[in-house]
Amino acid sequence: MKKSVGIIGANGYTGSELIRLLAFHPNTELKFLFSRSNGGIKISDLYPDLEAVCELTLTDAVQQVDILFLCLPHKESQNWLNENSISDDTLIIDLGNDFRLEGNFKNRNFIYGLPEIYFNEIVGAKSIANPGCFATSIQLALLPLAKANLLKDVYTTGITGSTGAGQSLQKTTHFTWRNDNISAYKTLNHQHVDEILQQVNSLNQDEVELNFVPWRGDFARGIFTSSIINCDWELEKIYTLYQDFYKESPFVKISEKPIDMKQVVNTNFCAIQIEKKANKIAIHSTIDNLLKGASGQAVQNMNIANGWEQNLGLNLKPLAF
């Protein structure tokens, strides 16, 4: 029997991507799409690409379902759960940042949903906090080094597409501003830094300092990050470290060739490549911010929690051209 699914905040980018994925998932059935601002509107009227995929109408009524995805703006998931009664048997996957650092909420304990290190905890879980997009890309680049206690001072840059800012129009997402333009933002103060350090410091014996400069890019979707650290290990040994760490992780691909963002856009994959000069190494990682950085990883977590294959409904081809 298929699991019933509801999406709260279905009118945003992550909600619409979840609809696209779940509409073709063999084990799920979409029951309702919740939106306070667009109730009564067909989802395909907001997103014409979903016309042949989903004919549900957005509603402000909540039904009891087996699986509930929260795709709300940051800091709103907790408020929504306070206002609505959800069965303890319902699997809740929150794509916001409400429960990533502090997972306790009433009688629920949210598991941090990075499958590459918390697979066993996610199995059978009823409450999952989906990681952030930059946090996913940077953590996957750094976690093997953290386990080997090779991290101390980390210098990271990352560039993201306009969809990372959400659907609401802002000055920095308007086409005339974004086109042929880049800019740094939240320099050394991005909200994902604490989230990254929480996981990295759980593996690394010494305290890690992360210096992160994020950039807005002139493209719609995708993230590319580069982290630099001091390391005396030979490059071959470092690659072996990564391959061993991710040998059971189907969505992390370690490449000895240069990587680019289009290799992963429209997929749930993370591609990682490492370069070395003297005693410094650079770890490049790239993901689709809306899939491995959000909706795809949420489906991956749903699969694991239910005991299904991780890649169920996620066999997607990258948009190479």
Q: How far apart are CA 297 and CA 131, in angstroms?
A: 8
The partner residues of 213 in beta bridges, in order of sequence, read 157
Distances (CA, A) of 114 to 189, 214, 243, 255, 315: 22, 21, 18, 21, 19
Annotated catalytic residue, options 54, 133, 231, 270 = 133
* Interatomic CA distance for residues 295 and 7, integer angstroms: 11
Residue 23's DSSP bridge partners are: none
* Active site annotation includes 133: yes
Is residue 138 within 8 A of residue 285, CB to CB? The reply is yes
Could you tell me the sign of the dihedral formed by the alpha carbons of 56, 305, 27, 47, in that order?
positive
Q: Would you say 234 and 149 are in contact if contact means Cβ atoms under 8 Å apart?
A: no
Whose tokens are 């051209």? That residue is 321
| CB count in 10 Å sphere of residue 172 | 13
Identify the sign of the CA torsion 302, 308, 310, 314: negative
Q: Is the dihedral of CA 171, 174, 175, 179 positive or negative?
A: positive
* Angle at 249 (CA atoms; ends 193, 112), nearest 5 degrees: 40
Taking the C-alpha atoms of residue 45 and residue 234, their distance in angstroms, rounded to an integer, is 55
Residues 202, 149 contacting (CB under 8 angstroms): no
**Helix residue spans in the chain (DSSP H):** 13-22, 43-46, 77-83, 115-122, 133-147, 175-178, 193-203, 235-245, 295-305
Q: Which residues are catalytic?
A: 133
